[in-house]
Amino acid sequence: MARQRSIFSLVLVLLATFLISCGSPSVTVAPPTYTATQLERIQEYVPKIQAVRDRADELKTLINKKDWIDVGNFIHGPMTEARSSMTYIIPNLLPSTQPVARQKTRDLLNHLVKIDQAAGQSNTQLALNNYQAAIEDIDKFFLLLPETSSQPEVS
């Protein structure tokens, strides 16, 4: 009987050792972060977008004046450059943020096209509505960017 207790104890010790060795502490994965290179690339384009955002009231003034030629020039010039800068930023964003950022740039393009069409039809109200939506697209894009000391404030 003593011999059976020894074997039984040995089996229990081996079983406990096996179970303990199979279990591993849960490894926590650090949340994705930006590298210095990504932040540098993002910050390279942010001022270009912010400059256009700061000039957005010019577009509203042109629409209100019904200066359709200059509205087209502003859309095809500075606004398109801002959209290009947004596109260059997207690959440097976190993978989880990229789809939303792509959608915001597509939305911006759609609103710019609608402003251009409204300019062709001399439709001030349609142009103003899409102007407002385009500005909101830019502001929402800024919210997707990583927090840095030089990030612009969204109004």
Give the integer Cα–Cα distance in Å for 61 and 68: 11
Express each pLDDT in 39-97 by its tens digit: 999 999 999 999 999 999 999 999 999 999 999 999 999 999 999 999 999 999 999 99
On the 0-12 / 13-18 / 19+ scale of CB atoms within 10 A, 150 is exposed
Percent of the chain whose pLDDT exceeds 90: 71
Domains of the chain: 34-144 (1.20.120.290)
At residue 32, the pLDDT reads 75
The model's pTM: 0.74
